[in-house]
Amino acid sequence: MLTDEQKKYAEQAIALVEPCIAFFIQTYPCLRGVLSEAEMVSAAYYACAAAAKTYDPQRAGVSAYFSKSIMHELLKSCRREIRSDAQSVYRIPLDEVERRWRKRPQDNRESRVEVMEQSLAALPSRERNWIQAFAKYRSMREVSRKTGVPIRRVTREVNASLQFLRAVAESQRE
């Protein structure tokens, strides 16, 4: 049970639920379909009630403390849902796969591979090296370990190189 003061803080925090959920969806687009909207709201309300029990107004503001608690609970709920044995949102029904397949333009795979090879060859060596390192090691963390470059810089460089590669591929298609 919450005391009257804790209830007051929890009620103030409920105003943060909607913006926190919007921020969560924007920040973690890969988790967008894991929880339904009702599940997200429920998890956020639970986080408000749980955080009210430990909230100390002298240490942090309501918005900072409760929004962090809401985000953490949303992440925990997504993790729990993904790990559960219930039907996962990542399982796509066969009829949906067939529908998507029919809508997809039938490209010639060889021509796409040729375009990508030409685009890769057209890149400056620096960008080409980052993309090849990422393709070889398969994760930013592994590229960071093997090259000795901090992971933030690796992520920035690989993403910039991939963006550059996409631009080159688009220009070659036209």
Q: Which residues contact 12 (CB under 8 A, 6 or more apart)?
A: 62, 66
pLDDT in tens, 89-135: 555 666 666 676 666 555 565 666 777 777 777 778 888 888 888 88
Q: What is the pLDDT of residue 34?
A: 83
User: pTM surpassing 0.75?
Assistant: no
3-state DSSP call for residue 65?
A: helix
Q: What is the DSSP letter of 123?
A: S
Same domain, 135 and 78: no
101 within a domain of the structure (yes/no)? no
Same domain, 74 and 18: yes
Same domain, 77 and 142: no
Q: Which of 45, 33, 27, 37 is nearest to 82 (CA)?
A: 33
What is the domain extent for residue 29? 4-83
Same domain, 121 and 167: yes
pLDDT in tens, 66-95: 999 999 999 999 888 877 755 555 556 666
